[in-house]
Amino acid sequence: MSDFRAEVREWIAANLPDSIRTPMPEEEIPWGGRNASFPNPQSRQWLEAMIAKGWTAPTWPAAYGGGGLDAAQAMILQEELERANARPALFSFGLWMLGPVLLEYGTEEQKQRFLPPIVRGEIRWCQGYSEPGAGSDLASLRTRAEDKGGHWLVNGQKVWTTYADKADWIFALVRTDPAAPKHQGISFLLIDLRTPGVSVRPIELISGSSPFCETFFDDVKVPKENMVGPLNGGWTIAKKLLQYERQNVSAVGFGGDRSVRIEDLAKQAVGEVDGRIADGALRNRIARHNLYDRAVDLTTRRSQIDTDSGSVGALTSVVKYASAKANQARGELAVELLGLDGLGWSGGNFDPRDLAETRKWLRSKGNSIEGGTSEINLNVISKRVLGLPD
């Protein structure tokens, strides 16, 4: 065993609290932010221990609070965390999406100002990309930012903004040159959601929860220094961020709770013979699903190694497509296996575990839409990876 692995293993053993070795219920996901809540105090303890090592952002430079690890060390750390069944210390759009592009495109001042609070989970970010008229065709977005000399004046509307009601800041795509071709008039702007003129309205999903919102900007004044990258040069950054998003959102399995194993649901559904799922055809389907799922995990890891060594690329759309497919297949299997018990909505006639499976199944339908739809990812693969013509 390498010295580093031994050191990591020892540190985890000493610092990982017991309850953090168990599967994470939805309500205990540590999102951080100004209003961070820790229903389980050991989540905070674990987060603080990880922050002290810089391991919430293992590959970011130590100068910004990161762990300063190289790709190989980061992989060892991840393997050891998995080995110990450690929950992620922090879920964060800042870590997964904004941070990597700030490292690449931000000014030194922006890095020093924004990165450390991300590593420490002090500021929670949300993503202001989609608009009512700009979804897959994101570059047709219309939210305006006008140059008023001392500041940008922002007007417009974003939609499907996940957790805008809980976040502290938003990274937004805004139109800064309406006359230019659509990809060339977009800039990347960081906006404090406490600024006057910003308002958010939660939207209810088919799963009954309301993680995402409409976000309105009404004469919002944003300091000049909050623009990342060059004026009208936001599209390149926007695309790069989407790659990180596809990679990282897949890596955390869309945040889905996998604590219930699909083979156990199958055993309950059709009974066991000698400890095995009694029905051979069903057993085969479950095994095939699990094989696919494991292949997706291995590919996500491969893609992660690419990302950690500084080359996000060809695999991100593959991983986004396939992990959405796997998670959705899991949801369908769960509901099928539970039968009508898996189709309750609420109330005491249902097992809370089954109700949770129902909600997860519904939520998983968004996996092939969020972060670029599956169709768009197939477009990316066929055009950019395979080079097929227009």
Partner 1 sequence: MTVSADDLQMLEDTARLWVRENAPARAGLGRDPALGPAQWRAAAEMGWAAAAVPEEAGGAGFGFTGLGALLGEIGREIADMPLLANGIAAALVARHGSDKARADILPGLLGGQLRAALAIGEGAHHGSALATTARQQDGGWVLEGRKSWVAGGADADVLLVAARGDRPMLFLADGKAVKVEAIDSVDGRAFAHVLLDGVAVAEDALLVGNGDLVAHATGLARIGLAAEMVGAGERALEIIVDYLKTREQFGRKIGSFQALQHRAALMLVDLELARSCVQAALAAADEEREDLEELAILAKYMAGEAIHLISTEMVQMHGGIGMTAEHVAGNYIKWARVSEALLGGNALLAERYATIRGY
Ligand X SMILES: Cc1cc2nc3c(=O)[nH]c(=O)nc-3n(C[C@H](O)[C@H](O)[C@H](O)COP(=O)(O)OP(=O)(O)OC[C@H]3O[C@@H](n4cnc5c(N)ncnc54)[C@H](O)[C@@H]3O)c2cc1C
Q: Does 35 bind partner 1 (CB under 8 A)?
A: no
In a 3-state reduction of DSSP, which class is residue 204?
coil
Taking CB under 6 A as the criterion, the residue among 54, 65, 121, 372 binding ligand X is 372
212: which strand partners? 162, 203
Taking CB under 8 A as the criterion, the residue among 71, 75, 269, 385 binding partner 1 is 385
Q: Can you give the length of the chain in residues?
A: 390
Taking CB under 6 A as the criterion, the residue among 73, 78, 161, 317 binding ligand X is 161
Q: Does 337 bind partner 1 (CB under 8 A)?
A: no
Catalytic annotation present for 27: no
Q: Minimum distance from CB of 92 to ligand X (Å)?
A: 13
Taking CB under 8 A as the criterion, the residue among 111, 166, 246, 267 binding partner 1 is 267
Q: Minimum distance from CB of 259 to ligand X (Å)?
A: 21
Binding mask 244-263 for partner 1 (x = CB under 8 A): -------------------x
Name the DSSP letter for residue 373.
Answer: -
Centre a 10 Å sphere on the Cβ of residue 162 and count the other Cβ atoms it contains.
17
Helix, strand counts (H, E) of the chain: 12, 10
Q: Minimum distance from CB of 274 to partner 1 (Å)?
A: 10
DSSP 305-354: HHHHTT---THHHHHHHHHHHHHHHHHHHHHHHHGGGGG--SSTTS-HHH
Angle in degrees, 0-180, between the axes of helices 3-15 and 71-83, rounded to the nearest 10: 40
Taking CB under 8 A as the criterion, the residue among 149, 150, 181, 275 binding partner 1 is 275
CA distance linking residue 331 with residue 308, whole number of Å:
30
Whether 98 and 125 have beta carbons less than 8 Å apart is answered as yes
Residues ≥6 apart with Cβ < 8 Å to 218:
155, 197, 198, 199
- Given 245, 272, 336, 375, which residue is catalytic? 245
Q: Does 284 bind partner 1 (CB under 8 A)?
A: yes
Q: Find the residue with minimal CB distance to ligand X.
A: 135
Picked from ligand X, partner 1, none, the partner binding residue 389 (CB below 5 to 8 A depending on kind) is partner 1
Stretch that binds ligand X, among 6-14, 19-27, 288-296, 367-375 (CB under 6 A): 367-375
Interacting residues with ligand X (CB under 6 A): 126-130, 135-136, 160-162, 212, 366, 369-370, 372-373, 375-376, 379
Positions annotated as catalytic residues are 245
